[in-house]
Amino acid sequence: MKPKTGRQKTDDPAGGTPFYRLRLFVAGDEPNSVKARAVLSRLCNDHLGDSYEIHVVDVFEDYQAAIEHRVIVIPALIVEAPPPAKTIVGSLSDEGKVLAALGLTEKGEQP
Amino acid sequence: MSDDKIPYQEMQERLARAETILDSLRRGEVDIVVGSAEPLVVRLKSVVEEKERLVKEWQTTFDSTNSAIWVLDHEQRILRSNKTAERIFRQPSGEFIGKHCWEVVHGTREAIPECPVMRVKQSLRRESVELLLGERWFEVSADPILDDNRQYAGAVHIVSDITERKLTEEALRKSERKLRIYNEISNIFFLASQEDMYSEILKKIREVTESRVGIFGYIDENENWVCPSLTREVWDQCQIPDKDFIFPKEKWVGIWGRAMLEKKTLWSNEPFKVPEGHLSITCAMAVPVLYVGQLIGNIVLANKETPYHEEDVALVETIANHIAPILSSRLQRDREQREKEKTQEQLMQAQKMEAIGVLAGGVAHDFNNMLTIILGYGENLVHQLHPGDPLREEAKAIVEAGKRSAALTRQLLAFSRKQTLQPEVLDLDAVIRNLDKMLSRLIGEDIDLELSLSDEINRVMADPGQIEQVIMNLAVNARDAMPKGGKLLIETANVEFDETYSQNHVSVNPGKYVMLAVTDTGCGMDKETLSRVFDPFFSTKEKGEGSGLGLSTVYGIVKQSGGNILAYSEPGRGTTFKIYLPQTEAIQEPKTGAVEKEATTGGGEHILVVEDEQSLRKLMETMLSRLGYKVSVAVNGGEALLLVEEKGLKPDLILTDVVMPNMSGRELVDRLQRNQPDLKVLYMSGYTDNAIVHHGVLEPGTPFIQKPFTLRDIAEKVQAVLRGGAGSSR
């Protein structure tokens, strides 16, 4: 597993923005994987400030992690925190759906 | 029931997840699927993108083909169409889809039975047909579409514009056809006989132009259009009187004549006005064959079922261009061949005459010696017999027969050019004018004699007596050729032959000549007769009418005089004999007055007779003794020299044979005259051999007596020589 973090994690301030722990499974430089990585990076940057941590797993290097996390298709994004855990598959091109899964409105507010 | 609820919920979640995954897969947002059983990742292509790409690619390909393509269902309804179909059928695709193909293509309400789509339903394999729609050619083909059970499910209907291909094919076909015609014509030129060549080439050209009749001919040296093909093509159908297959330039009329005169193609599809008996002509073309601008032939075609098209004319013109060089070389070859044959014929004729001449000359010479004896002793006999003696008449008959035989052998000698000529510088015009009266009497009243004599005729060297005989013989011949009357024309002219002429005529040397032509308007001769006309004893006259030696004599005299004689004749068109005698620069000697009648007996003068033949020698001795001379004899030149130079014999006259073994008469006389320049000489001979005396001709004025001779002849001659001196003429 190769953790890739956008920012340093910050403490979860009570009642503030929750801390997001995200795990993105990609397949090398395949088109959908490249796209997913870019979309996620941009969305996090736009909506989550510093409160997130992204772990990017390249299955070409570590397919075992995919099996452990019961990931069948790549790319796939697992939102590990905040609970409940959610999995989004595909290239993340439907950004609305991604934001919803992260519990963020389109305006960047929490649900 | 929490036990039930949980699995259900989980099932719901799993389903939702599966749905999501499937959805992603469908949208092509997935790169790989991770297999859980194997340590493998399976790479996935974007299904959707690929499918779209394929669909697009297929459509692009479909639209890009230059053929109109429809996919038809089993009822021939159009399911799909490409862009080219829109262009070819000039309708947007939307208009076709769902319609039956025949409605769009043929505008009919029913299928066309012979349509390839109908046929493909039966055959289940490609069917196609080529159609001409408007000005463009199309190929329509149908390929079957089979279902899984290999049943007919529809067809791919393809319409391709093949106009370009068709045009190329047509051009290729035309050029191949031309090439084939060229080849066939070339073959005819090289393989066909002279006789067949023209009609076979014409046949070929008629075939390719679909012309029912035609003429193909060449231009000969005399600017005649000669059409050997005509006799085979339409000879039987043509009802024109006096039809001919040789057309002289002045008779070039009509479209074919004008085409040749103007050297350009002429054609017309209007019916022609033709003379009576002529084949009716509905349409015609005339294409002259030109080689380096020169007219060498003409191709005339007529009566095609349909009018002639520019293409027909162009085709014949290219054929004319193609055959021009071949025809030209062929004509050249034929001309050379004809000239060669003619020369060879002349050569053979000359050789034949030479051979007959040698033979006749040899016979005549021996004959003459014998005749001299017959005549000599015969006359002797007549003189010695008493006038009342009954044997005298018989002896006279022997002498008469001998004289007739002598005349005959003289003619033979003349022909064989072995008679002794005594040539003089001669004015032919004068000779002819002198003969004028006699000729008129000879030819009779029914024949007009016309003289066309050159004013300033050059002189020739010839024996006047012989030339007179030549003219008389030709005149007699002409008379006999004109039993119903006619015209006899005698012409003279100065001519000059150049190298070219002499190369084409055997035994004619270049130089200046005087021509003497004798022309009659009589029955003429065919080629066969003409080739034998100078042969001795060849005669077309009734037996007893002529000796068959007249023209042979003429031939011999002319040849011996260094000249040439040519005969021109055609049956029914008269005959012309042309004699060419070499012109001489010598000056005519003034004629001496007539010699007085000589006494026939001698006065004891001494004569030395040199003769190698014993019986003749003896005869001479007898004759001369009877005439009152003192006679000595010598067997040959050697003995004669011995008698004169050693034994001191002093003869007044030497009478010597010309041809003798070892020393000729001439040599003997030369030798004797060295010491006795005024020694008188009389030569005698059966003939004079070319090798010994100036080609058979003694110098003018040399005294000479021709064997056989009568007593009177020899008496006169001897007297003349004795009285006149060594140089006296005969």
Q: Please give the residue that has the higher pLDDT: either B195 or B146.
A: B146
**Residue B150 is assigned to a structural domain of this protein:** yes
Q: Please give the residue that has the higher pLDDT: either B728 or B613.
A: B613
pLDDT at B728: 39
pLDDT at B78: 93
Whether residue B150 is found in the same domain as residue B10: no
* A77 vs B contacts (CB less than 8 Å): none
Query: Using the beta-carbon criterion (under 8 Å), do A89 and B36 form an inter-chain contact?
Result: no
pLDDT at B388: 87
Greatest mean pLDDT among B27-36, B256-265, B526-535: B256-265
The verdict on A91 touching B (C-beta cutoff 8 Å) is yes
Q: Which of A30, A73, A93 sits opposite B21 (nearest CB)?
A: A73
pLDDT at B261 over 90: yes
Query: pLDDT band for position B440 (50/70/90)?
Result: confident
pTM of the model: 0.43
Query: pLDDT band for position B665 (50/70/90)?
Result: confident
Whether residue B347 is found in the same domain as residue B375: yes
Whether the CB-CB separation of B420 and B685 falls below 8 Å is answered with: yes
Which phi and psi (to 5°) does residue A34 adopt? -60, -40
Q: How far is A70 from chain B (nearest CA, A)?
A: 8
pLDDT at B27 over 60: yes
Which phi and psi (to 5°) does residue B26 adopt? -60, -40
Query: Using the beta-carbon criterion (under 8 Å), do B34 and A63 form an inter-chain contact?
Result: yes
* B39 vs A contacts (CB less than 8 Å): 63
**Under 8 Å CB-to-CB from B66, ≥6 apart: which residues?**
B84, B160, B161
CA distances from B195 to B98, B345, B676 (A): 72, 22, 74
Whether residue B201 is found in the same domain as residue B95: no
Query: pLDDT band for position B581 (50/70/90)?
Result: very high
Whether the CB-CB separation of B365 and B686 falls below 8 Å is answered with: yes
Distance CA B72, CA B75 (A): 7
Mutation to test the B interface, candidates A74, A88, A95, A98, most B Cβ within 10 Å: A74
Distance CA B669, CA B663 (A): 10
pLDDT at B88: 85
Domain boundaries, given as residue ranges, for chain A: 20-101
Whether residue B243 is found in the same domain as residue B272: yes
Whether residue B432 is found in the same domain as residue B531: yes
**Residue B326 is assigned to a structural domain of this protein:** no
Q: Please give the residue that has the higher pLDDT: either B527 or B608.
A: B608
Whether residue B436 is found in the same domain as residue B559: yes
The verdict on A24 touching B (C-beta cutoff 8 Å) is no
**Residue B730 is assigned to a structural domain of this protein:** no
Whether residue B228 is found in the same domain as residue B144: no
User: Letter for the amino acid at B309?
Assistant: H
pLDDT at B701: 67
> Over the stretch B612-634, which tens digit does the pLDDT of each residue have?
888 888 888 888 888 889 999 99
Mutation to test the B interface, candidates A89, A92, A93, A95, most B Cβ within 10 Å: A89
CATH match of A20-101 with 3.40.30.10: yes
> Over the stretch B199-217, which tens digit does the pLDDT of each residue have?
888 988 988 888 988 889 9
Query: pLDDT band for position B390 (50/70/90)?
Result: confident
pLDDT at B190 over 70: yes
- Where in B328-474 does DSSP place strands (E)? 424-426, 447-452, 460-462
Phi-psi region of B513 (alpha: psi -120 to 50; beta: other; left: phi over 0): beta
pLDDT at A6: 45
ipTM surpasses 0.90: no
pLDDT at A10 over 50: no
Chain A residue with Cα closest to B39: A63
* B46 vs A contacts (CB less than 8 Å): 31-32
The domain that contains B384 carries what CATH number?
1.10.287.130
* A32 vs B contacts (CB less than 8 Å): 28-31, 46
Query: pLDDT band for position B48 (50/70/90)?
Result: low
Q: Please give the residue that has the higher pLDDT: either A105 or B644.
A: B644
Query: Using the beta-carbon criterion (under 8 Å), do B39 and A93 form an inter-chain contact?
Result: no
pLDDT at B597 over 50: no
pLDDT at B544: 54
The domain that contains B95 carries what CATH number?
3.30.450.20
Whether residue B613 is found in the same domain as residue B520: no
**Residue B253 is assigned to a structural domain of this protein:** yes
Mean pLDDT value across residues B268-284: 86
Whether residue B82 is found in the same domain as residue B154: yes
The domain that contains B617 carries what CATH number?
3.40.50.2300
Mean pLDDT value across residues A12-19: 61
pLDDT at A97 over 60: yes
pLDDT at B608: 93
Whether residue B232 is found in the same domain as residue B85: no
> Over the stretch B702-727, which tens digit does the pLDDT of each residue have?
788 877 787 888 888 898 888 875 44
Query: Using the beta-carbon criterion (under 8 Å), do A87 and B17 form an inter-chain contact?
Result: yes
Tally the domains of chain B. 6
Q: Residue B259, CB half-sphere, CA atoms under 13 Å: how many?
A: 22
pLDDT at A102 over 90: no
**Structural domain containing residue B688:** 606-724
Whether residue B79 is found in the same domain as residue B34: no
pLDDT at B697 over 50: no
pLDDT at B197: 86
Which of B139, B161, B183 terminates a domain? The answer is: B161
Query: pLDDT band for position B187 (50/70/90)?
Result: confident
Q: How far is B58 from chain A (nearest CA, A)?
A: 24
> Over the stretch A24-50, which tens digit does the pLDDT of each residue have?
999 888 888 899 999 999 888 888 888
Whether residue B480 is found in the same domain as residue B542: yes
Mutation to test the B interface, candidates A40, A72, A88, most B Cβ within 10 Å: A72
> Over the stretch B332-351, which tens digit does the pLDDT of each residue have?
888 888 888 888 887 787 77
